[in-house]
Amino acid sequence: MNPNKSYAKISTLIVTEEYRGNGVANILLDKAFALIVKSDFSEVVVTVSETKEDVLGFFMCAGFHLIKKCPDKYVKGITEFILRRII
């Protein structure tokens, strides 16, 4: 277990447009969960921009829940949503 953090963070999950809608993101997320569990983490956090409604929907459908809104976190005028899932 990582003594510095009690959770894992998925920083980026990108699927090129030509492969979207084929379950690729779900496969990648499942692989990430397997690695996260193997590393003794039981909580996963992701950050999603308010401008990425499709990505927000994907993670919400994957069982993530909103835990915090962070206005201006990376870009002034844009809110980032911090999502968490217990696995």
Instruction: Report CA-CA distances (Å) from 40 to 52, 64, 83.
Output: 30, 19, 19
Please tell me whether residue 35 adopts helix, strand or coil conformation: helix
In a domain, 1, yes or no: no
In a domain, 22, yes or no: yes
Least confident of 3-7, 11-15, 30-34, 50-54: 3-7
pLDDT at 21 over 70: yes
Structural domain span for residue 30: 8-86
Residue range 10-24: mean pLDDT, rounded: 93
In a domain, 49, yes or no: yes
Backbone angles phi, psi at 20, to 5 degrees: -70, 150
Quote the number of domains for the chain: 1
- Output the CA angle 75-68-86, nearest 5 degrees: 125
In a domain, 51, yes or no: yes
Q: Residue 26 is which amino acid?
A: N
CATH number at residue 17: 3.40.630.30
pLDDT at 65 over 90: yes
In a domain, 63, yes or no: yes
In a domain, 80, yes or no: yes
In the prediction, which pLDDT does 83 show? Answer: 98
In the prediction, which pLDDT does 3 show? Answer: 54
pTM of the model: 0.87
Residue range 31-35: mean pLDDT, rounded: 95
Q: Which H or E run contains 80?
A: strand 79-86
In a domain, 73, yes or no: yes
